[in-house]
Amino acid sequence: MMPFDTGRPEMNVEEFRLLRDFVYAYCGILVRDDMKYVMQRRLWPRLEALGLTDFGSYYRYLRFDAQRRPELETAIEALTTHETYFFREPRQLKAFSDEVLPVLERRNARTRRLRVWSAGCSSGEEAYTLAMLLKESGRFEGWDVEVHGSDISRRVLAVARQGEYGPSALRATSADQLSRYFVQLGPNRVRVRDDIRALVSFGHHNLQEPEQGSCSSRMDAVFCRNVLIYFDTPARQRVLRLIYEKLTPGGYLMLGHSENLINLSADFELVHLRGDLVYRRPELGGWSP
Amino acid sequence: MSEEGRNAEELRYRALLALDVFRTDARERLVEGLHDESWRVRRAAAGGFARVPGRAASVERLISVLGERDETGARNAAAEALVSLGSASVGPLVRLLGHVDPDQRKFAADILGQLARPEAEDALVSVLLEDGDLNVRVAAAEALGRMAGRSGARALERTLNDVEPLLRLSALESLAALRQPPPLSDVLPLLNNPLLKRSAYRVLGLIPRLEATELVCRGLGAESRSTREAALVALGQQAALTAPSLRSAMDVAVSQVLQRLPEASGWVASALESEDLELRAGALVVAAVLRSPKLAPLVAEVAQEERLVPEVMRTLACFGPETGRELLASMGRLSFPAREAAGQVLVEMVDASFVPELVQMLDWGELDVKSVAVRALGRTGSRDAVAPLAQLLSDPEMAALAARALVSLATSHRDLVLQVLESALEGGAEPAVLNALVRVGGTAKLPLVRRIASQASVSLRATAVEVVAAVDPVGGLELARSALVDESSSVRAAAVRVIGQLGDASMAELLARALADSALEVQLSALEAVGECGALERAGDLESLVRHPDGAIAFRAVRSLARLGLLRDEVLARAVSHEDHEVVKAALQAGADRGGGEALALELLGHARWDVRAAAARVLADSGGTSSLPTMLAALSLETDTLARRALVDAVERLSGR
Ligand SMILES: C[S@@+](CC[C@H](N)C(=O)[O-])C[C@H]1O[C@@H](n2cnc3c(N)ncnc32)[C@H](O)[C@@H]1O
């Protein structure tokens, strides 16, 4: 018995498979077989909002209704977790600041240009955090610096652009960081300072549809943390291929702390920093793909 | 590595990826790559063998690399390559199991384990039972743990009494991996063996019987942390396998041990935070019995692992009324998935005293937190909740939820709610507010709704048309007719929907225009409406749309024709060959409903899509005719998809009266 879920329609295995395949085809998100319950629970509010009584009808709605496109996006919203917060995974961030940024500063000294991409940025905390680190490093004054955040979910992007956050987004932010990078709006609400916001841009991008990408320039570093977890192996490989192509040779890739490229890609080399492990697109001497 | 070294490595890597596999020396180039100093290059080389023609020759060559004693990197890469060659590797590796060098036999067993091909099972069983080298036997035991075969499992069970503890351990682990627990009596003696007990608990967890639970519970009282954790893991496994109706008996057994373990709360808390998913699952079972609201935030955090969400919800539901407050106080620190779970519980547990904290939560910013607060406010029954909710009625993201919450509050504060809904509408609120107003105010509010329908924004106009129809059919139909010429397609679509629901065949003329509307939204509603109101005159229009490449249009055309009872055979045939499988299924169902759809269903048993085949099997089962049985049995023998297979098996059983 599911104590809080009584009286709502069950999703049968066939409906589950149809919905799952459909979602997978659209954005590569893999809903594992043992997650039927999760899918059901997350889509219940959609059935309720649309006045539908079973998941078969919902599936047909997604396929055939005039509102199918926006509803599909809403369904994806519901199925993906947007867990994120400022200064998440501090160890990696420290390694980035202390060890990667000096390298990038040297490499790009001539162009004085730096591009960092937060792929699957959710509501923007990661992209802003990176902008804060770039600022704090003091290395790129007067440079052309941009942090680009992208996500498949338009709802989280709207939040990201607004740049206003509450307590849970700040649960790993120190009082010092709070006073340096945020403006207090109310007892429970802050806004990212304008000088940080000026470094960050956001765009919509389904990582499974490469040609749709919202950023055109080559990236010096890509953070793609806690995004690959949604995908199965071929879909992960597609994303990694895309990131590889977006990175400049010698550019860095940072994954979430529980993620790695074992059995996924040998395109990247593993770099042992003092503080953490990161990946890098190898340099290539005079050889162009 | 120096910059130069890296460049050279990258070049060797690229060269292997780009290697022309039809060159005569391709295989040797790859073998050379297997010996490269860089693991990336070795991996690229290993991956290359699957592309080279002549797998048998590749397998032989790779097996010879396995014999190069001092080349660890190359041997491992060769093993990887052998795995990638699939069934071609099995025979030669089985032969390698008979090599004089135990080192090679062990390699063969390891690789066969990774290949997990049933053809190798018997050979591995012989090695497990008869090989003279312990390491080789252990490798065979581990390999059998990946085969999922019966004979392998039986052999592993026999090994459980071997004198070699290492062998017993791998046999036990393999049985756990196969999820094929040995008899309880075989497990019992292993529970006290320090080396084996962890694995013994693992297999115990796979036996969802009360006797096994009682044994596991003994482990909870153990001094050593590792035993306790093993028992927790087992408990989690048992809970997942136990039917919900038997869970309470399990809980009783757990609660009896817990009475003797006052310190349990502490270790349950740390198990809830562990990295190990299985351990967390077990900790939830114990937490549910402990019922300590203080544990609620930790329990909620376990929801980060989506597979454990049902168990998290169950556990929180077991906790007492204080849980709501505990969760509310910790909301700011919880992760998103935990907030999601906590929110659900909170909404169930609120009362009027929660209002101030919930109102504070409204200005947190995070949409999910706000949604929880709104839903919870709606359930407080408190008059103080009305005003904060009213403020959200003009917020496009929150309006619908807030309106719904206000409808709940209206049961005790009707007049106040009506007042805030009306003034929100005056200020141009969202459609959901209009809906709520009519739900709470009933027909008395119709004049207001009509006024809105004639002058407000597009979305309000569209909603008004449908809302009026729901309370006043005659007036609604009239309003819909005039809305058919609205400049906005959503208003026209709403009008068409109303006409479908309330109109009759006399509306055919109006629907002709709607079918030809330039907006897809209106067309789709019109297709549906034609069938709903029986506009037979439009059948011709529908027939031509069955061919439409957009599945949405073709699907509705088929369904409406079926509803009108006018689906001709040739049109049905057209629908069946549509590219979209949902159109095909709609046609199949329509054919069956009309009677005599068996021929079509039999044909579709061979369709490329699993869901069409499954639907065809169900149609045949419903038809009750046994003449299709031979064809179905033939289809069953070829069916590889599990769901289609299940539908076929059900159908065959039903038809043959089993
Ligand atoms: C858990 S969040 C990670 C946020 C941030 N990177 C962090 O680690 O804090 C994952 C994000 O990936 C996004 N996502 C999932 N599938 C995607 C896809 N196919 N394309 C782009 N973004 C996707 C989700 O919408 C979600 O916002």
Q: Where are the beta strands (DSSP E) in B319-379?
A: none
Domain for residue B610, yes or no? yes
Phi-psi label, residue A269: left if phi above 0, alpha if psi -120 to 50, beta otherwise: beta
Ligand 1 centroid from CA A45, angstroms: 21
**A176 noted as active-site residue:** no
Residues in contact with B55: Cβ distance below 8 Å, sequence separation at least 6, in sequence order: B85, B88
Tokens 């397609």, located at residue: B489
Interface predicted TM-score (ipTM): 0.83
**Cross-chain Cβ contact A4/B348 below 8 Å:** yes
Instruction: Please give, rounded to a whole number of angstroms, the shortest distance from the CA of A179 to a CA of chain B.
Output: 18
The pLDDT of residue B597 is: 86
> What residues of A are in contact with residue B551 (Cβ under 8 Å)?
63-64
How many pairs of residues across A and B have Cβ atoms under 8 Å apart?
134
Beta carbons within 10 angstroms of residue B54's beta carbon: 12
Task: Check pocket membership of A127 for ligand 1, CB cut-off 6 A.
Answer: no
Instruction: Supply the DSSP symbol for A199.
Output: T
**A193 vs B: CB within 8 A:** no
Does any ligand 1 atom lie closer than 6 A to the CB of residue A122?
Answer: yes
Atom of ligand 1 nearest to the CA of A76: 25
Would you say B501 and B532 are in contact if contact means Cβ atoms under 8 Å apart? yes
Task: For ligand 1, pick from A116, A151, A232 the residue to mutate: most ligand atoms within 8 Å of CB.
Answer: A151
Residue B648 lies in a domain: yes
Answer whether residue B608 is part of any domain: yes
Residue A289 is predicted with a pLDDT of: 39
Exposure on the CB side of residue A124, measured as CA atoms within 13 A? 25
User: What is the per-residue pLDDT for A37?
Assistant: 86
Q: Beta A182-186 vs A189-192: how paired, if at all?
A: antiparallel
The CA angle B584-B585-B586, to the nearest 5 degrees, is 90
Q: Which residues contact A84 (CB under 8 A, 6 or more apart)?
A: A121, A122, A123, A125, A126, A169, A226, B336
- Mutation target to probe the A interface, by most A beta carbons within 10 A, among B309, B357, B395, B580 is B309
All residues of chain B having their beta carbon less than 8 Å from the beta carbon of residue A33 are none
State the pLDDT at residue B110.
97
Residues B73, B39 contacting (CB under 8 angstroms): yes
**pLDDT for residue B363:** 84
B115 CA to centre of own chain: 27
What's the sign of the alpha-carbon dihedral B152, B153, B158, B159? positive
B644 within domain boundaries:
yes
Mutate to test the pocket of ligand 1, among A86, A128, A152 (most ligand atoms within 8 A of CB): A152
Q: What is Dmax (Cα atoms) for chain A?
A: 66
Q: Does A3 touch chain B (CB under 8 A)?
A: yes
Residues in CB range of A210: below 8 A, 6 or more apart: A238, A241, A242, A245
Residue in A64, A81, A156 to test binding to B, most B beta-carbons within 10 Å: A64
Phi, psi of A184 (to 5 degrees): -75, 130
Q: How many domains does chain B have?
A: 1
Q: Which domain holds residue B627?
A: 598-657
Residue type (1 letter), B645: R
Report which protein residue has its CA nearest ligand 1's atom 10: A227
Active-site position among A20, A88, A115, A151: A151
Question: What's residue A287's pLDDT?
Answer: 45
Q: Is residue B370 part of a domain?
A: no
Instruction: Decide if A230 contacts A199 (C-beta within 8 A).
Output: no
Is B520 touching A (CB cutoff 8 A)?
yes
Strand pairing category for A113-119 and A277-280: unpaired
- Taking the C-alpha atoms of residue A58 and residue B411, their distance in angstroms, rounded to an integer, is 31
A284 touches chain B (CB under 8 A): yes
Residues of chain A by 3-state class (helix, strand, coil), percent to 5: 45, 20, 35
In sequence order, what are the residues at sequence separation of 6 or more whose Cβ sits closer than 8 angstroms to the Cβ of residue B559?
B528, B531, B586, B590
Closest-CA distance, A40 to chain B, in angstroms, reads 11
* Residue A105 Cα to chain centre, angstroms: 25
pLDDT in tens, B343-395: 989 998 899 999 999 999 998 878 888 999 999 999 999 999 999 999 999 98
- Reported as a single tens digit per residue, the pLDDT across B199-246 is 999 999 999 999 999 999 999 988 889 899 999 999 999 999 998 888
pLDDT at residue A213, rounded to an integer: 61
Shortest CA distance from B38: residue in chain A: A269
Q: Is the CB of A15 under 6 A from ligand 1?
A: no
CATH value at residue B606? 1.25.10
pTM: 0.85
pLDDT for res A285: 57
In a domain, B302, yes or no: no
d(CA B304, nearest CA chain A) in Å: 9
A257 at interface of B, judged by CB pairs closer than 8 A: no
Catalytic residue check, A144: no
Question: Is any atom of ligand 1 closer than 6 Å to the C-beta of A80?
Answer: yes
Among the listed residues B555, B509, B557, B492, the one whose alpha carbon sits nearest the alpha carbon of residue B531: B557
Q: Which of A17, A42, A113, A155 is catalytic?
A: A42
Positions of chain B with pLDDT lower than 70, given as ranges:
1, 658
Query: Coil, strand, or helix at residue B208?
Result: coil
Regions of chain A with pLDDT less than 50: 1-3, 286-289
Alpha carbon nearest to ligand 1 atom 8, residue: A225
Q: Is residue B604 part of a domain?
A: yes
List the 384-413 stretch of B: residues with Cβ below 8 A of A: 400
- Residue B89: inside a domain: no
Relative orientation angle of helices B225-241 and B247-258, to the nearest 10 degrees: 160
